[in-house]
Amino acid sequence: MQFARSRDGAGRDSGQVIVFTVIALIAFVGMAAFVVDVGYAYFTQRSLQASADAAALAGAQQLPDASAATNTATQFGTGKSAKNAITRATVSETITTKCLTSIPGCSPVNAVVVDETAHVNSFFAQLVGLSKYDVHVRATACAPCGVKPLDVMVVLDRTGSMCQDSSGANDPTCFDLNNAKTGIRTFLSFMDKSVDAVGLAVLPPAANAAATCSTPSGASYNSSGAPYLMVPLSQDYKLKDGSLNSSSSLVSTLNCIKGGGTTSYASAIDVAQAELVAHGRAGVQKAIIFLSDGAANTGPSFLLKTSQARAQPCHAGITAASNARGAGTVVYSIGYALADDTGGCKADTGAVEKPAITVWQAMQGIADAGNFYDKPSPGQLNTIFTQIASGIGNEHIP
């Protein structure tokens, strides 16, 4: 009797072990399935986040140009032809730009936002009715990302060649000069008047303070009192709604200036730097944007013939810019249709400048490394001024 009972108990114990083993195996398989599915979803989420981060950072490099920022972010996103495409899941992507009001300097946008959602198919969780996981990530990148006020002097070449066509014939529409004006207005549209001050200097200088809107003459270089500074640093160039203030001294003067005269770089750059020193704000990054369509070929007659400004007008421009950089000013230069200038860099006597230098070398030498922009053929300068506006707040600023 006892032996029989012992055998019956062993059978029951054996059956219980089998049941527990099966339950444990099911639980183990379920946990393994959960780990595989969740691990795969997590891996997809990290890949998605990396893609969103890359897209946002790439797009932010193009700010404040919202269109360019969006297009660049798209190139680095998760689309089929994008650099960080994800093919193992169905991904939807939304890229927007916006103004982060907590960061001063938003004009018109200062941030790129990338939202990405992936539908990740499950492997084992389908057994319990969960066919997919939805993974969402977001990345935001800004530029500029802090208070970075600027004092900027624009130096505009308004010589007679800016009102000529490529063959040297007079162009009554002043196509080149008007393109330069449009580019500067575009630049102003990206500046924030609450933190950025902008002024305007020109070459040749005006005959006198009352001749701002008159046709200039190369003879004005020979007057030591002729004004190069048309508008000192100012912050009233925009209205409250963000549109340009046509009644401001800066915008109205830009709109009215005319073309005429010959080219001399140095004094205009020197005057721009002097304005930054005299009226620029302490602790604020200073910058000069210099635009010209040709080589310097003259200098003030009141200086000695052996002075650099007269004997080496192009080199004198480089020297002036170098002095500005030495004082901490960031210098940009824009060469506009330089190929149309067949005369090259010459002394005011007409002799070739020594040592010889080309107009391209002169314009490159004026700018900081990497800050020379070449517009080889006549046309709109909006893109270049937009690129400068995008980068000017981020360079050489602690």
Mean pLDDT by runs of 10 across the 398 residues of the chain is 48 59 59 61 76 88 89 84 72 88 73 86 58 78 76 98 92 96 94 92 97 96 97 96 95 97 97 98 95 96 96 98 97 95 92 96 96 92 90 56
Pair (184, 254) in one structural domain: yes
Secondary structure letter of residue 130 according to DSSP: -
Residue 361: in which H helix or E strand, if any? helix 359-366
In whole angstroms, give the CA distance from residue 38 to residue 26.
18
pTM of the complete model: 0.71
Q: What is the pLDDT of residue 60?
A: 87
Asked if 109 and 52 count as a contact pair (C-beta separation under 8 A), the reply is no
In whole angstroms, give the CA distance from residue 93 to residue 99.
20
User: Residue 102 is part of which domain span?
Assistant: 14-142
Q: What is the pLDDT of residue 348?
A: 93
Out of 142, 175, 205, pick the residue that ends a domain: 142
Pair (27, 52) in one structural domain: yes
Q: What is the pLDDT of residue 2?
A: 47
Q: What is the pLDDT of residue 396?
A: 41
Q: What is the pLDDT of residue 216?
A: 97
CA distances in angstroms from 154 to 21, 280, 354, listed in the order given: 82, 14, 29
Q: How many helices (H) and strands (E) does the chain have?
A: 9, 9
Count of CB atoms situated within 10 Å of the CB of 378? 17
| Count of the separate structural domains present in the chain | 2
Pair (133, 156) in one structural domain: no
Q: Pick from 387, 391, 192, 374: which is nearest to 292 by CA?
A: 374
In whole angstroms, give the CA distance from residue 149 to residue 374.
27
Q: What is the pLDDT of residue 301?
A: 96
Pair (32, 179) in one structural domain: no
Q: What is the pLDDT of residue 397?
A: 39
Pair (186, 232) in one structural domain: yes
Q: What is the pLDDT of residue 181?
A: 97
Pair (154, 130) in one structural domain: no
Asked if 339 and 306 count as a contact pair (C-beta separation under 8 A), the reply is no
Burial category of 251 from C-beta neighbours within 10 Å (exposed 0-12, middle 13-18, buried 19 and up):
buried
Q: Does residue 9 fall inside a structural domain?
A: no
Secondary structure letter of residue 126 according to DSSP: G
In whole angstroms, give the CA distance from residue 382 to residue 136.
37
Structure tokens at 375: 């517009």
Asked if 96 and 113 count as a contact pair (C-beta separation under 8 A), the reply is yes
CA distances in angstroms from 278 to 33, 162, 275, listed in the order given: 72, 30, 5
Q: Percent helix, strand and coil across the chain, each rounded to 5?
A: 40, 20, 40
Structure tokens at 138: 């977001």
Q: What is the pLDDT of residue 1?
A: 42
